[in-house]
């Protein structure tokens, strides 16, 4: 072979191996869409993911219908009336600090989780992946068949078979999209409000109906056409991967040392000793590419488009079993594991990061659970000074009581830190403050402390807010003004 031919072959091989770095797997060189016909996966990890996805889909549908003994749903995100309920607890704009704390925890959680576990979330828990792979693709497999049949159907002319199959598929796709949209609306306005809108009919709620139709068509567009482009072109989480993962990050990876061997991969031949000939275990069957929902070749290493869905792991394990070679050519491992030829194992870093993640989740739950049912504030009235009334010094304060539950409260205010301290709620003859559900109640209250107990011009006074039945709701410390 001439030097020219040898150099040309080497150039073509290098160009073929490196082109994935400069090309999008789902796009042709001229910029047109390259449709991904993913083969139906099967295997251990696919079964695990099917169970996980089924549970999550059932929870998505069922949760809006679950009501707690206090009458609240588990979740409600009524942005129209700023009524938010998390785990049965109502939240209001006054709980902004919890939202801010939750956002900080979420950002830190994403950074740590991705650094340790890569895109595990994308493959197992992401709604985009769950809906696409375990709802819409399953419908597609049922109506059009597996990969080869879909390719054949796409290439053939618009005959009776193609019109019927595509028409049924698109119709079912939209029915699913419309159903899921209504479930999302149930999270927004509540099941009772949604049921009322359905009974009263579209004429009474035309605005909501238009919104449902628009969102259902958007949902349909994403899963009927846009599909994996949402992961590769839109989702920002994939971009984080490039800066957050390192050599220790666990991800779906191709064991290139074992797969390539000394002389590279080659087709399988019976009765050959691949190890003696220096051939890698990869037989270049292409099954890992055929099942990939984003159309990439995992053998090229970690890539932006990879969502760590494990389909290639199952496909490769199936081939390895058939040719009597060890499983795990594609596996969960870090780059460091593969380079050093060591199996994945739990290490100190993994334990430390996981502990931090769990601690952050627990901390957020503690904040949520310990939040007071009634938010209490006492403020000095501008321009009001202390008043001497006989043996007592009186301060007039403004109270702000925010009821964060769906029940009414009948409250009293007592001086807790001074035995002879008194309170007088103005404009409330029965000396009770009635705060209705979700109400912000404001008013004036007089705090009276004996002069003999005051030794400074500002004295901390502990006020106890109690239910009429005697249950303590909250404590609040004010700075009491005195003539000293």
pLDDT truncated to tens, each residue of the chain (484 aa)? 444 343 443 334 344 455 666 677 777 777 788 899 999 999 999 999 999 999 999 999 999 999 887 778 888 888 777 778 877 777 776 677 777 777 888 888 888 888 888 889 999 999 999 999 999 999 999 999 999 999 999 999 999 999 999 999 999 999 999 999 999 999 998 898 899 999 988 888 888 999 999 999 999 999 999 999 998 888 888 777 778 888 888 899 999 999 988 888 889 988 888 888 888 999 999 999 999 999 999 998 888 889 999 999 999 999 999 999 999 999 999 988 898 888 777 778 778 888 888 888 888 778 777 777 788 899 988 888 899 998 999 999 999 998 887 788 899 999 998 988 999 999 888 888 999 887 888 999 999 999 998 888 889 999 999 988 778 888 899 999 988 6
Do 225 and 255 fall into the same domain?
no
The verdict on 215 and 312 lying in the same domain is: no
Q: Please give the DSSP secondary-structure letter assigned to residue 60.
A: H
Same domain, 28 and 167: yes
Domain boundary pick from 242, 259, 290: 242
In a domain, 351, yes or no: no
Residue 331 to residue 118: CA distance in whole angstroms: 13
Q: Please check whether residue 193 lies inside any domain of the structure.
A: yes
For residues 97 and 173, membership in a common domain is answered with: yes
Question: Are residue 170 and residue 318 in the same domain, yes or no?
Answer: no
* Alpha helices, H only, 42-95: 44-62
42 and 147 fall within a common domain: yes
Check whether residue 64 and residue 97 sit in a common domain.
yes
Q: Mention every residue, 6+ apart, whose C-beta is less than 8 A from residue 428.
A: 443
- Kindly list the distances between the CA atom of residue 482 and the CA atoms of 380, 392, 460, in Å, as whole numbers in the listed order: 13, 10, 11
Of 190, 222, 242, which marks where a domain is finished? 242
Whether residue 63 sits in one domain with residue 182: yes
As a whole number of angstroms, the distance between CA 17 and CA 47 comes to 32
Determine, yes or no, domain membership for 366.
no
In a domain, 264, yes or no: yes
Residue 353 within any structural domain of the chain: no
What CATH number is given to the structural domain containing 451? 2.60.40.10
Same domain, 308 and 445: no
Residue 99, CB half-sphere, CA atoms under 13 Å: how many?
9
Distances in Å between the alpha carbon of 17 and those of 20, 38, 316, 418? Answer: 7, 22, 20, 81
Our count of domains for the chain comes to 3
Please state, in angstroms and rounded to a whole number, the distance separating the CA atoms of residues 379 and 162: 73
* Alpha carbon distance 435, 431 (integer Å): 13
Beta-strand relationship, 409-415 and 89-91: unpaired
Q: Is 481 exposed, middle or buried (0-12, 13-18, 19+ CB in 10 A)?
A: buried
174, 55: one domain:
yes
pTM score, two decimals? 0.80
What gap in Å lies between CA 171 and CA 150, rounded to an integer?
17
The answer on 436 and 302 residing in a single domain is: no
* DSSP string across 386-402: -EEETTEEEEEEEEEEE
Q: Which of 195, 217, 242 is the last residue of a domain?
A: 242
The answer as to whether 445 is a domain residue is yes
Tell whether 93 is covered by a domain. yes
> Is residue 75 in some structural domain?
yes
User: In 3D, which of 451, 455, 314 has the Cα closest to residue 394?
Assistant: 451
Q: Find the domain containing 98 and state its range.
A: 23-242
69 and 178 housed in the same domain: yes
């Amino acid at each position: 072979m001439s030097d020219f031919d040898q150099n040309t072959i080497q150039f073509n091989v290098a160009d073929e191996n490196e082109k994935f770095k400069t090309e999008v797997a789902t796009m042709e060189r001229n910029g047109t869409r390259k449709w991904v016909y993913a083969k139906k996966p099967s295997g251990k990890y696919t079964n695990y993911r099917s169970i996980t996805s089924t549970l999550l889909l059932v929870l998505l549908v069922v949760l809006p219908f679950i009501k707690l003994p206090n009458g609240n749903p588990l979740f409600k995100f009524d942005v129209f009336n700023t009524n938010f309920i998390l785990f049965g607890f109502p939240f209001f704009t006054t709980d902004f600090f919890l939202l801010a704390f939750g956002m900080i925890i979420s950002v830190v959680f994403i950074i740590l989780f991705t650094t340790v576990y890569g895109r595990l979330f994308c493959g197992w828990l992401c709604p985009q992946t769950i809906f696409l792979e375990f709802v819409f693709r399953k419908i597609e497999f049922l109506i059009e068949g597996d990969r080869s049949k879909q390719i054949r159907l796409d290439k053939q002319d618009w005959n009776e078979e193609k019109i019927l199959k595509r028409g049924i598929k698109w119709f079912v796709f939209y029915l699913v999209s419309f159903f899921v949209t209504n479930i999302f609306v149930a999270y927004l306005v509540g099941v009772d409000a949604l049921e009322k809108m359905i009974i009263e009919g579209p004429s009474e709620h035309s605005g909501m109906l238009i919104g449902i139709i628009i969102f259902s068509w958007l949902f349909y567009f994403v899963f009927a056409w846009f599909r994996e482009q949402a992961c590769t072109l839109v989702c920002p989480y994939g971009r984080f991967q490039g800066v957050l993962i390192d050599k220790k990050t666990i991800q779906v990876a191709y064991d290139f040392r074992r797969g390539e061997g000394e002389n590279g991969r080659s087709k399988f031949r019976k009765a050959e000793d691949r190890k003696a000939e220096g051939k890698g275990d990869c037989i270049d069957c292409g099954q890992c590419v055929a099942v990939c929902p984003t159309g990439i070749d995992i053998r090229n290493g970690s890539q932006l488009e990879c969502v760590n869905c494990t389909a290639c792991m199952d496909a490769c394990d199936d081939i390895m079993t058939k040719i009597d070679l060890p499983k795990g050519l594609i596996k969960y491992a870090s780059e460091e594991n593969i380079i050093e030829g060591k199996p994945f194992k739990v290490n100190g870093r993994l334990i430390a990061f996981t502990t931090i993640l769990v601690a952050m989740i627990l901390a957020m739950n503690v904040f949520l659970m310990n939040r007071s049912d009634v938010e209490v504030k006492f403020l000095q009235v501008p321009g009001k000074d202390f008043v001497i009334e006989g043996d007592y010094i009186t301060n007039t304060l403004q109270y702000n009581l925010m009821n964060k539950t769906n029940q009414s409260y009948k409250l009293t205010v007592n001086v807790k830190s001074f035995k002879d301290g008194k309170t007088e709620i103005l404009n409330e003859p029965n000396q009770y403050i009635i705060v209705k559900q979700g109400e912000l109640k404001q008013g004036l209250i007089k705090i009276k402390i004996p002069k003999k107990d005051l030794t400074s011009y500002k004295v901390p006074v502990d006020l106890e807010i109690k239910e009429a039945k005697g249950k303590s709701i909250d404590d609040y410390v004010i700075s009491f003004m005195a003539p000293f």
